[in-house]
Structure 1
Amino acid sequence: MIKDFVPKAKKLGTLYCSAEPNSKYQTDEVAKYAKKDGLKVTKYTFSDTNDVNSVTQHQQAASASDVIYIPTDNTAASCAKTINNVALKAKMPIITGEEGIMSKCGVATLSIDYYGLGKQTGKMAVQILTGKKKIAQMPVQYYKNPVKEYNPTICKKLGIKVPASYKAYKN
């Protein structure tokens, strides 16, 4: 997605809450792939909502990066508008780990369809509740059809050309 939206990017800044292990894991995984693709990765963390503006702006995440990645992070989600205020001013594109954050501050995401995920989860629950499967014996399942989405409003403000394979987010 970074190559699709910011093909000349050399520096990736990742922005996440250090108190959320899920965010650290996602960021570490993205960093591995980004480094293999030749991107210099710098991690910017905040510990709570009070640090978001400072880390995004004053610690230079927006000005020291060509693009920022934000994983599925609850704290970042609750502060997405604050992040957006800094990012838009700096003309900084943000790739996000999910649709909710993307809708407020990102240009694109590879998101799950929460309705489809709910159906898949429901089918698993039926197998457990009817005794056909035991939880301990069920393999972990993943959503198989992620959606490549973009935020038309932010892409337009940043002058980003959107690849044809992406679907416009509609709020």
Structure 2
Amino acid sequence: MTKRTVVDVDASHWSRGRRRGRRPLRAGGFGGLTAWIALALLVAAGFAAGGATAAASPVHIGIVQFLEHPALDAFRVGFIQAIEDAGYAIGEDIIIEYHNAQGDFSVSYTIAEKFVQDRVDLIFAIATGPVQAAASLTDTIPIVFAGVRDPVGAEVVDSFQRPGRNITGTTHWTPVSEQIKLVLEIIPDARRIGVVYNSGELNSVIQVEEARQWAAEYGLTLVERTAGSTTDVRQAAESLVGSVDVIFIPTDNTVVAALESVLAVAERFRIPVIASDIATAQRGAAAAYGLAEIPLGRQAGEWALRLFFEGRDPAPTPAGIQAVLDLAVNLEAAARMGLTIPEDVLERARYRY
């Protein structure tokens, strides 16, 4: 069995040194893209033969994740799966150093700064804050992102089609219009939709703005509550009791990390919860229409391999938008919220929990 080594460091220990071992290749030492192209020449034969060829020294990938919760964790899992499936041994061919910012934007910056100072070969940034931090610190180290709804709005790429710099990745875009439609399919009498989000997360602000527009389009009222940290989420959810017919959860990292707080309120007061990603439905939302995170993480891992081992330039490499969104229902959770999922919705659901 291949030995697997991943350096796993949370924000409280972010300053701890990286895994000791063979000195990784330094992309910056060759001058940006030149390093990727030079290494590509060394491994091209392996790719042509359909298998991976290990570099003389291990590649050092730094992963910075905004917060730990199942949805963001799944991006990381998919990323590592893609590397392993390509034939590379974690801890031998590729060293992964992982840091969790624990929901703190300033810590995201500090972690990214450490990676730049260490001259890692590639940065994988999970969520908007980490990719903004990494992008502000380097224009030479390749950056791949996942879990970012609007990289253009976050000002880390010029466009989806042509990022224009050292960054590309997979977007966490979900159609709020379809999620509002799902609410009305499942709860036709709903008139007031509650939403809890962190107004400090750009991805959430964008989704709530869209939710306002679509709620108005359908003659609904959006009742908004903000939570600046995970400890604020329960109180925000409780403040919706008696004022809403359903709670909508966007892909907000703060709220999803404290999902159990929302679910406890929803189940106690029998308020259905509709979410924006599959992992949240699996954890206890009644239904969700959105993304499956592991495939997006895998796509990001594939981009990372192409950028480094094939010498691809990220500037013209399109940022991927998942074309297929999935419907998930959680029948047990729905029952606890006093909700019966309509049969036509059940028939369309790809995932049932």
Q: TM-score range by the shorter chain?
A: 0.7 to 0.9
CA distance in 1, matches of 2:202, 2:244: 23
Task: Please list every run of 5 or more consecutive structure 1 residues that lacks an aligned counterpart in the other structure.
Answer: none
Deviation at 1:112, TM superposition (A): 1.8
Partner of 1:140: 319
Task: Please list every run of 5 or more consecutive structure 2 residues that lacks an aligned counterpart in the other structure.
Answer: 1-181
Partner of 1:37: 218
Whether the 8 Å CA contact 2:194–2:223 is kept in 1: the answer is yes
Please point out which of 84, 89, 105 is paired with 2:263.
84
Partner of 2:195: 14
- Judged with a 3 Å threshold, the aligned counterparts in structure 2 of structure 1 residues 167 and 20 are, in CA distance, closer, same or farther, namely same
Partner of 1:48: 229
CA distance in 1, matches of 2:254, 2:331: 24
Partner of 1:5: 186
- Judged with a 3 Å threshold, the aligned counterparts in structure 2 of structure 1 residues 19 and 123 are, in CA distance, closer, same or farther, namely same
Matched, 1:112 2:256: no
**Cα deviation per residue 1:32-70 (whole Å; 9 max; x = unaligned)?**
12221111112111111222222211x2x1320111111
TM-score, L = length of structure 2:
0.44
CA distance in 1, matches of 2:188, 2:282: 22
Whether the 8 Å CA contact 1:110–1:146 is kept in 2: the answer is yes
Partner of 2:335: 156
What CA RMSD, in Å, does the superposition of the two structures yield over aligned residues? 1.9
TM-score, L = length of structure 1:
0.86
Q: Which has the larger radius of gyration?
A: 2
Matched, 1:63 2:242: yes
3-state SS, counterpart of residue 320 of structure 2: coil
Greater shift after overlay, 112-121 or 42-51?
112-121
3-state SS, counterpart of residue 135 of structure 1: coil
Partner of 1:72: 251
Greater shift after overlay, 120-129 or 41-50?
120-129
Deviation at 1:98, TM superposition (A): 1.5
**Cα deviation per residue 1:64-100 (whole Å; 9 max; x = unaligned)?**
0111111112221221111111111111111112223
CA distance in 1, matches of 2:341, 2:281: 16
- Judged with a 3 Å threshold, the aligned counterparts in structure 2 of structure 1 residues 63 and 102 are, in CA distance, closer, same or farther, namely farther
Whether the 8 Å CA contact 2:234–2:262 is kept in 1: the answer is yes
- Judged with a 3 Å threshold, the aligned counterparts in structure 2 of structure 1 residues 115 and 48 are, in CA distance, closer, same or farther, namely closer
- Judged with a 3 Å threshold, the aligned counterparts in structure 2 of structure 1 residues 136 and 80 are, in CA distance, closer, same or farther, namely same
Give the aligned residue type for 1:78. A
CA distance in 1, matches of 2:247, 2:213: 15
Whether the 8 Å CA contact 1:108–1:151 is kept in 2: the answer is yes
CA distance in 1, matches of 2:202, 2:294: 26
Deviation at 1:126, TM superposition (A): 4.2
